[in-house]
């Protein structure tokens, strides 16, 4: 019996570095990273250049899902296919020491973007690692 292929949705995808790590199938600094039993079913970012870079990488789009250029707040949950793993690199500036530390009160609305990760039920989520998010 074949193993289940884990489906990945990626929000705030950027150019796809985190997604690539979950897909595998590449060589870096002479080390081969085998293709993993995953499939990217959805990717999204609101930055034009990031989406262009993502979509130019055949290792990311070979499963058939290209990065959708759109603000995640404008995407309805029903257009996101069902998935098992959510990758979400939402902006950390509102919580980070490198930012203004306004948290959910960030004037640009970035402090509540993590709430977009709750659009659909998910088996597992990997997000940023900013320690101040725990205090938000």
Q: With respect to residue 26, please indicate whether it lies within any of the assigned structural domains.
A: yes
Q: Is 8 part of a structural domain of the chain?
A: yes
The series of mean pLDDT values per 10 residues for the chain, 136 residues long, is 84 90 94 95 94 95 91 86 84 57 57 56 52 46
Domains held by the chain: number: 1
What is the Cα–Cα distance from 70 to 27, expressed in whole angstroms? 31
pLDDT score of 136: 42
Residue 103 lies in a domain: no
SS3 26: strand
Three-state SS at 77: helix
CB 113 within 8 A of CB 12: yes
The share of the chain scoring above pLDDT 70, in percent, equals: 64
In a domain? residue 120: yes
* Catalytic residue of the set 15, 53, 67, 92: 92
Domain that holds residue 11: 1-32+48-76+116-136
92 is catalytic: yes
> Is 28 a member of any domain?
yes
What was the pLDDT predicted at 132? 47
Q: Is residue 5 part of a domain?
A: yes
Q: What confidence tens digit (pLDDT) does each residue in 108-122 have?
A: 655 555 555 565 555
Q: What is the mean pLDDT of the chain?
A: 78
């Amino acid at each position: 019996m074949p193993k289940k292929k884990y489906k990945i949705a990626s929000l705030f995808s950027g150019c796809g570095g985190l997604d690539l790590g979950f897909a595998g199938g590449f060589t870096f600094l002479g080390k081969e990273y085998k293709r993993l039993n995953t499939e990217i079913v959805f990717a999204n970012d609101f930055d034009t250049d990031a989406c262009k870079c993502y979509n130019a990488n055949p290792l990311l789009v070979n499963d058939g899902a290209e990065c959708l250029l759109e603000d995640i707040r404008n995407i309805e949950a029903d257009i996101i296919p069902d998935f098992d793993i959510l990758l979400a690199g939402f902006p950390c500036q509102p919580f980070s020491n490198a930012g203004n530390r306004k948290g959910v009160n960030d004037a640009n609305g970035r402090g509540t973007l993590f709430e977009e990760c709750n659009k659909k039920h998910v088996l597992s989520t990997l997000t940023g690692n900013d320690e101040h998010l725990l205090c938000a």
